[in-house]
Amino acid sequence: MAMSITGDLLATTLSALAFIPCAIGSISQSPATPPQPRRRETVINGKRIKTIDVHAHCIVPAAAAIINHPLEAPALLMHDTSTRIAAMDAQGIDVEALSINPYWYRADRDSAAQLIKIQNETLVQFCAASPDRFVAFATAALQHPELAAEQVEYAVKTLGFRGVGVGGSVAGEELANPRFHPFWAKCEELGVLVFMHPLGTRELEPSGRLAGSGLLTNTIGNPLETTIALSHLIFEGTLDRFPGLKICAAHGGGFLPSYANRSDAVIRCFPDRVGPLPKKNPTSYLRDGQLYFDTIIFTPEALRHLIAETGPDRIMIGTDYPFPWTSTEVDLVLNTPGLTDDQRIAILGGTAARLLGIPT
Ligand SMILES: [Zn+2]
């Protein structure tokens, strides 16, 4: 239900929000049975909302073993999902859209083909084991763009995926490189949502500028890679060439939505340094339906600003599970000012459900 716009909008909206514990999950007092954590259920204006986390990681060990990729964190494993599902229940996450950070972008063609086949088929099994809790983004070997296009087609048409994950660069190459056009063309043709997750800015690391305290390779290196990738996709004309492409950028799109007006300004202020011109001002690409963003930006003020720059229909919640950046994304959306009930529902799961074909 859409709220009327009144001076009491925020108070009215917040008063309509509540949580109800799941009766099945009520705490047992029996000493023989450990207390069951209650599943947090999100209700907005009397309606139970299905919350969908578009930024959650996992790993397929049999695929990683093909190129001897080490396990980054045991909590990425999916052979026992009880801890993961307990975390989802505690955080009020109904569905995770699983993705795997691309670690295979330097693999040769044969290894990459074998790896992706095992990986995507195993992701299907993960989802089939808990179909009400997990969906997944397919994986693809972008370093072999024609192969990647075939992999996405097989993943969508045969395995049933509705999205595919990519890094923010491919072994040092920009996603805007024309080499990747066959991949983008296939994603556009199939109508899949592309989840873009950065892999850091590895080209900066040998300089030592991201070394030292603060985990800067990740803290700023990850959003910086996303910022660079999105900027090239805009300025190199990739988004113009594939107008039906839909990309969800991790971590709120990195730094770009906070400073996108500078990208508009360079066209005015240094016109001889831009060209061919993108069809629209760069800020328009943030709003016009090709780019989406997750909510991993920590505060209601940051989310309010991201929404001001992109629109409430462009945002989907993300947790980064199992990495402990945040566990409060549902509250973040509920506490962000100025949103209608319908907008909160869209951010919490409605938009992801529509893009990923998840029944609500
Ligand atoms: Zn992540």
Q: What is the pLDDT of residues 295-310, one digit of tens each?
A: 999 999 999 999 999 9
**Chain segment 47-101, per-residue pLDDT in tens:** 999 999 999 999 999 999 999 999 999 999 999 999 999 999 999 999 999 999 9
Average pLDDT of the segment spanning 239-257: 98
pLDDT at 37: 65
Strand partners, 136: 98
- What's the pLDDT score for residue 2? 37
pLDDT value at position 34? 61
CA of 56 to the centre of ligand 1 (A): 7
pLDDT of residue 33: 59
Mean pLDDT score of the chain, rounded to an integer? 91
Q: How far does the centroid of ligand 1 lie from the alpha carbon of residue 199, in Å?
A: 9
Confidence bin at 32 (pLDDT 50/70/90)? low
pLDDT tens, 277-294? 999 999 999 999 999 999
- For residue 274, report the distance from its CA to the centre of ligand 1, in Å: 32
Does the pLDDT at position 229 exceed 80? yes
Q: Residue length, the chain? A: 360
In the predicted model, what is the mean pLDDT of residues 19-43?
59
Rounded distance from Cα 54 to ligand 1 centre (Å): 10
For residue 28, how far is its CA from the centre of ligand 1 (angstroms)?
A: 35
pLDDT (average), residues 137-163:
98
Instruction: Measure 114 CA to ligand 1 centroid, in angstroms.
Output: 24
Output the CA 101–ligand 1 centroid distance in Å: 8
| Residue 3 pLDDT greater than 50, yes or no | no
Residues 6+ apart with CB under 8 A from 165: 99, 100, 101, 102, 137, 138, 139, 140, 194, 195, 196, 197
Report CA(197)–ligand 1 centroid distance (Å).
Answer: 6
- Tell me, in angstroms, the distance from the centre of ligand 1 to residue 55's CA: 6
* Strand residue runs (E) in 31-179: 40-44, 47-49, 52-57, 95-99, 134-136, 163-167, 169-170, 173-174
pLDDT tens digits, 131-143: 999 999 999 999 9
320 CA → ligand 1 middle, Å: 4
Centre of ligand 1 from the C-alpha of residue 287, in Å: 23
- What is the whole-number distance in angstroms between the Cα of residue 57 and the centre of ligand 1? 7
DSSP code for 2? P
Would you state the pLDDT for residue 38?
A: 86
Residue 296 CA to ligand 1 centre (angstroms): 9
DSSP category for residue 300: H
SS3 content of the chain, % helix, strand, coil (to 5): 45, 15, 40
Architecture of the 53-356 domain:
Alpha-Beta Barrel (3.20)
Q: What's the CA-to-centroid distance between 32 and ligand 1, angstroms?
A: 38
Instruction: Tell which wins on pLDDT, 11 or 331.
Output: 331
Cα–Cα distance between 177 and 278 in angstroms, integer?
A: 15
Taking residues 209-234, report their average pLDDT.
97
Sorting pLDDT into bands at 50, 70 and 90, what band is 20? very low
How far, in Å, is the centroid of ligand 1 from the Cα of 262? 27
Residues 6 or more apart whose CB falls under 8 angstroms from that of 100 comprise: 57, 58, 59, 60, 119, 123, 137, 139, 165
41 and 21 in contact (C-beta within 8 Å)?
yes
Name 294's bridge partners: 316
Over residues 215-233, mean pLDDT: 97
